[in-house]
Amino acid sequence: MSERDEIFTKVAEQVEPFNKKGITLTDSTTFAGDLEWDSLTVMDFVAAIEDEFDILITMNMQAEIETVGQLVDAVAKLKA
């Protein structure tokens, strides 16, 4: 498993508790559109991701992240 795949798997695990509709996750799944998350769900999810990877995703960065794939790439970059 590549490092990116490992991050994807961990991100998917964190999405699960908030994935009310049971959407199948791909790189192009969007948080606002496909998962239908509101700003409060995003806040909880971001905090969970930050704690899982021991990183910080600033609100400035969050504004640029719309899909699961973009988040996985951002996490990979922040961990590097």
Partner 1 sequence: MTDLFSKFDALIAERKALLDTGVRDPFAIVMDKVTSPTEAVIQGRRTILLGTYNYMGMTFDPDVIAAGKKALDEYGSGTTGSRVLNGTYQGHKECEEALKEFYGTDHAMVFSTGYQANLGMISTIAGKGDYIILDADSHASIYDGCWLGNAEIVRFRHNSVEDLEKRLARLPADAGKLVVLEGVYSMLGDIAPLKEMVAVAKKYGAMVLVDEAHGMGFFGENGRGVFEEAGVADDVDFVVGTFSKSVGTVGGFCVSNHPKFDVLRLVCRPYVFTASLPPSVVATAATSIRKLMHAADKRAHLWKNSKRLHQGLRDLGFTLGTENAQSAIIAVMLPDMETTVRMWQALLELGLYVNMARPPATPAGTFLLRCSLCAEHSDDQVGEILGMFEQAGKAVGCIA
Residues at the interface with partner 1 (CB under 8 A): 38-40, 43, 46-47, 50-51, 54-56, 58-60
CA distance 44 to 11: 13
Q: Please, which residue, 40 or 80, has the CB nearer to partner 1?
A: 40
Q: Kindly state the tokens that stand for 32.
A: 């606002």
| Minimum distance from residue 43 beta carbon to partner 1 (Å) | 6
What percentage of the chain's residues is helix, strand, coil (to nearest 5)?
60, 0, 40
Q: Please, which residue, 24 or 60, has the CB nearer to partner 1?
A: 60
| Minimum distance from residue 67 beta carbon to partner 1 (Å) | 21
H or E stretch covering 3: helix 3-15
